[in-house]
Structure 1
Amino acid sequence: MRLDVQPWGATMAELVDAARAAEDAGAGVVWAPELHRSAPVTAAALASGTSKVGVGTGVALAFARSAMLTALTAADLGELSGGRFRLGLGTGVARLNQDWHGVAFERPVARMRDTVAIVRAVLAGGDPITHDGVRSINVRGWRRPCPPVRIPIYLAAVGPAMTRLAAEVADGWLGHELLTRPVVKRRPGFDVVASACCSIDPDAATARRRAANVVGFYASVRSYAAMFQAAGFGAVTSAANAALRAGQAADSLGEFVPDEMVDVYTIAGTPGQCAARIATYEEAADAIKLSPPSYGLAADEVRLAQKRLLELVGSHR
């Protein structure tokens, strides 16, 4: 199984250095998320700063950009990376789309299906380029002065409808950071990538506490409340939401998260414990994307956590 890395850096230069260290450790792909930075710009920096490792957006918001602009960006990143780029797309949640980016979120599965179709049509070239749906395109008299290109497309999916769509139209599936166990079957030509916050320390309790804020952040998001409730952690979501409404920072809610909840939703513990947990994904996934804990932590603590994560990746070879 391939070990991928979502590198962290307080600056873009540090982020690129971390990607280069992941490449040296033998990581298969370095993934650029989209929250505090632009995923495509970060991916461009990672591609320029490395030479062998795969580079992907993990994930870019599919609806905050036009599908045509997403396609052109993917084509440019494919060229810039020398063919190492893969386009990871996600819907985000309704509030993020509507309140942060001012874009529609209705019928997200159909909207994502149209997005993938349009991206592929633009990358393939030709004139006209047309598609009718929840998202549509009608381009005539335009030709990209470059050869057609095929970029692998990955879809982030948690719910059953989006998961079925990923299996139907994409080249790969990307799991959620909350260690979503793959619910798509492995098959030739389809890349199943689980994801996890991975917190490693010689002291397992310290590792868990570093990861707790990641779980606490999601516990405060209403979109995940039903999932946590079904797993028996409804009281945690209530406490995290109350603290958030009272003014506590969203990335500092780990105090409400018990160790057993950290163990369910992250990979946290000693190096041996984390390696054993990762090994349980061998049969279910082609790769697992690992990210260091960073929510609510001082920069030096994140750097230490990332160093230990990369040491684990290096030992996997």
Structure 2
Amino acid sequence: MLVPRITTLLNRFLNTKQLKQIHGLILIHGVNHLESLVIRHLITSPSDYSQTIAHYIQLILSHSKQPDVLSTTSAIRYFCNNGGFQQAFNQYVQLQRSGFLPSTFTVASVLKACGRLGDENGGIMVHGQVYSYGFCGDVYVETALVGFYTKLGDMMNAKKVFDEMSDRNVVSWNSMIDGYLRSGDLSMAERVFSGMPEKDVVSWNSMVSGYSRTGDMEKALRLFREMPERNRSSWNAMISGYVECGKIDLARNFYNSMPERNTISCITMIGGYSKCGDVESACELFLEMAQPFLKRRIAYNAVIITSEKCKNQR
């Protein structure tokens, strides 16, 4: 009866302390195959990702007497999706040592981790395994390879993988654009952008930002006006570009026209005003940004004062 009871408990919402208590029961009674349910609970928990949880998952996997490929691969994707890139790579190495065959999604995740870590040797090792596992031709793996090489700034190998792809998705195209822009090759980024069969808002934003960073606001504005869809990043790229060019009035026009501003928009404008010595406008925007917080603080203070008065009257 113990296994069904533990399984039922693990399907409920549990905090970390309760989960560790149940894990203790699993170890004491030797029902180690249920550890995979503990990992699944941790991975699917609505609570925020933390190093404590990541470390706990690693401990379970490294000490498990009955490791399984599903738990390990799920953990790798979980680490990678939450910024735990070193944990993802370490777990992938452990997966190799256990003799398990990774899935295409696992390989794609670990390539992303290597790119973010700047781990050239690790990524090249995984690239070699792509051939031995027969994953060549998988769009997710090849897209991850393009992303890995562009993150390293190795556009020669990125282009080689990209050119050999039989099926390209928008992510692979965007990775190439981003890679060329970060390496300073605006003309190649333009060629890739022009050749895209289908562009998304990320593609457009990348090129607008690329023109803005080089100070070519005429091309940035032309592209901005052609965009079929815009988001806050689109507007912020234009604001930032005009600020860097010293055209603060044009930046302010875009700021005022934004359908929805965010903190980045405001901070960019404050920095622009500060740079050109317009302290008054900078302070005005700062107060405008801080006003919602100040209003909330005043409201909280009013509630506290009212509560204190009520206590004193009793």
Higher-strand-fraction structure: 1
TM-score, L = length of structure 1 = 0.22
Higher-helix-fraction structure: 2
Query: Highest CA radius of gyration, 1 or 2?
Result: 2
TM-score, L = length of structure 2 = 0.22
* Larger RCO of the pair (alpha carbons < 8 Å, separation 6+): 1
